[in-house]
């Protein structure tokens, strides 16, 4: 008889977003006085930019002609045209030397963050921030690296790195040394963006302990402060300890189109093996490459028009962030983020539990947010508000919130 992977049965049944949707549905059944505005889920709302659409059409036409049709590609890590564009625009232009062969294109950062565990032994101590993007935790539970879930919502074998107001939402070095360290900057959910000095502490630590940092910079395009790094490779020494995950999802609206990439420098060696070679081996075995038309669409993001158009959309979202931040402040709410990130991390008034504040905003303002407690115990006392909504709807939501608080 087949035996299932029991680790899956340890996972609590996706609590956060199903619970939000249950509460919203129940409230809607009571005929709310105003239409609901959703500032909860982290999905973009603006369409793909014209340069990307044009590239998609062109590549689609190529697929219709025998001479330019593409089937399987030779390399599941992507076509040279895209890998070279990434190396030039995202790295070389920032003074970072990452070559095309160190870049592996994929269908997105979620898959890569989740699948990277394949190249590491189950016997590794994993550290995650608290609050955290749930993918890092759940994929390690599935792999058997998390132990058992305690009543406090923490897994017995994970090292938790609290990110709180007190430490500026950036983790301090732990007592127990982890082998694998997840860092997400600009951060989902807190909206905090790490400085070079902050990252340097972890890079030095990882090199000293021969650990590996898994650096998720899905939101790098939202960095507005020129002193904040967009890539961990802007930190000297990162090339021997860090893997970086990036995505076109939040940068260029590819959440439904699917394209991202992972960078593993050749200098990153553990156990005498180049980690890059393990990852390409894994991808060539389990993945057959991102669709040609999607890679052409991603390439178009780097064209002059693509750059201009995607920057406009990012400015649109960042303006929403500003509206939210300033509105909340006006209502007397302390909030963080929303400057170098599309998320605002707002403190609940009078230490109200985050689910209660969520309910209050839902029932009084008809606005959906995300309770911070859903991202981990240290998220209690906060809610996450996204800047990815429609600008008019965002303004309306903020006006309603200011009104009810």
User: By the criterion CB under 6 A, which residues form the site for ligand PLP?
Assistant: 42, 108-110, 133, 184, 188, 216, 218, 247, 249-250, 255, 260
The distance of closest approach from Cβ of residue 110 to ligand PLP in the complex, given in angstroms and rounded to an integer, is 3
**Up-side HSE of residue 20: CA atoms within 13 Å toward CB?**
23
Residues of 232-252 as b/e, b for ≥16 C-beta within 10 angstroms? bbebebbbbbbbbbbbbbbbb
Q: Which is nearer to ligand PLP, 216 or 299 (CB)?
A: 216
- For residues 290 and 299, the answer to whether their CB atoms sit within 8 Å is no
Q: Which is nearer to ligand PLP, 42 or 117 (CB)?
A: 42
Q: Which is nearer to ligand PLP, 191 or 265 (CB)?
A: 191
- For residues 323 and 386, the answer to whether their CB atoms sit within 8 Å is no
The distance of closest approach from Cβ of residue 38 to ligand PLP in the complex, given in angstroms and rounded to an integer, is 16
Q: Which is nearer to ligand PLP, 118 or 359 (CB)?
A: 118
Q: Which is nearer to ligand PLP, 255 or 266 (CB)?
A: 255
> Residue 39 to residues 95, 343, 380: CA-CA distances in angstroms?
36, 10, 18
The distance of closest approach from Cβ of residue 317 to ligand PLP in the complex, given in angstroms and rounded to an integer, is 13
Q: Which residues pair with 262 in a beta bridge?
A: 104, 245
For residue 53, give both structure tokens.
């659409």
Q: Which is nearer to ligand PLP, 100 or 184 (CB)?
A: 184
The distance of closest approach from Cβ of residue 372 to ligand PLP in the complex, given in angstroms and rounded to an integer, is 15
The CB-nearest residue to ligand PLP is 108
The distance of closest approach from Cβ of residue 76 to ligand PLP in the complex, given in angstroms and rounded to an integer, is 17
The distance of closest approach from Cβ of residue 188 to ligand PLP in the complex, given in angstroms and rounded to an integer, is 4
Phi, psi of 263 (to 5 degrees): -110, 125
The distance of closest approach from Cβ of residue 247 to ligand PLP in the complex, given in angstroms and rounded to an integer, is 3
The distance of closest approach from Cβ of residue 26 to ligand PLP in the complex, given in angstroms and rounded to an integer, is 27
- CA torsion sign for 251, 255, 260, 262 is positive
Q: Which is nearer to ligand PLP, 290 or 396 (CB)?
A: 290
Q: Which is nearer to ligand PLP, 231 or 249 (CB)?
A: 249
The distance of closest approach from Cβ of residue 158 to ligand PLP in the complex, given in angstroms and rounded to an integer, is 17
Q: Which is nearer to ligand PLP, 247 or 290 (CB)?
A: 247
């Amino acid at each position: 008889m087949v035996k299932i992977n029991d680790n899956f049965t340890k996972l609590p049944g996706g609590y956060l977003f199903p619970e939000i949707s249950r509460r919203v549905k129940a409230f809607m059944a009571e005929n709310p006085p105003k239409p609901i505005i959703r500032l909860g889920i982290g999905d973009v709302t603006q369409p793909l930019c014209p340069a990307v659409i044009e590239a998609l059409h062109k590549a689609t036409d190529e697929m219709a002609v025998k001479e330019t049709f593409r089937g399987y590609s030779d390399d599941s890590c992507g076509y040279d045209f895209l890998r070279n564009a990434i190396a030039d625009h995202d790295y070389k232009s920032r003074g970072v030397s990452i070559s095309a062969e160190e870049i592996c294109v994929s269908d997105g950062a979620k898959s890569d963050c989740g699948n990277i565990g394949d190249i590491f032994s189950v016997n590794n101590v994993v550290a995650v921030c608290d609050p955290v993007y749930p993918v890092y935790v759940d994929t390690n539970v599935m792999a058997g690296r998390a132990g058992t879930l305690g009543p406090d919502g923490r897994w017995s074998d994970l090292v938790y790195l609290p990110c709180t107001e007190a430490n500026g939402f950036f983790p301090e070095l732990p007592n127990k040394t982890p082998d694998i360290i997840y860092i997400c900057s600009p951060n989902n959910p807190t909206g905090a963006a790490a400085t070079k000095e902050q990252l340097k502490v972890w890079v030095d630590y990882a090199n000293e302990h021969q650990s590996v940092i898994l650096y998720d910079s899905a939101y790098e395009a939202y960095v507005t402060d020129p002193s904040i790094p967009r890539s961990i490779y802007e930190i000297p020494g990162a090339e021997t300890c860090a893997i970086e995950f990036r995505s076109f999802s939040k940068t260029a609206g590819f959440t439904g189109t699917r394209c991202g990439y992972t960078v593993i420098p050749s200098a990153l060696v553990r156990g005498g093996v180049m980690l890059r070679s393990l990852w390409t081996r894994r991808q060539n075995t389990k993945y057959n490459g991102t669709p040609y038309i999607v890679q052409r669409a991603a390439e178009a993001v780097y064209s002059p028009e693509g750059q201009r158009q995607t920057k406009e959309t990012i400015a649109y979202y960042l303006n929403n962030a500003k509206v939210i931040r300033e509105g909340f402040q006006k209502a007397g709410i302390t909030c963080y983020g929303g400057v170098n990130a599309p998320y605002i991390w707002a403190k609940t008034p009078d230490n109200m539990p985050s689910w209660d504040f969520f309910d209050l905003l839902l029932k009084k303002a008809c606005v959906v947010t995300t309770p911070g407690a859903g991202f981990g115990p240290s998220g209690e006392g906060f809610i996450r508000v996204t800047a990815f909504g429609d600008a008019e709807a965002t303004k309306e939501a903020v006006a309603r919130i200011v009104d009810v608080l």
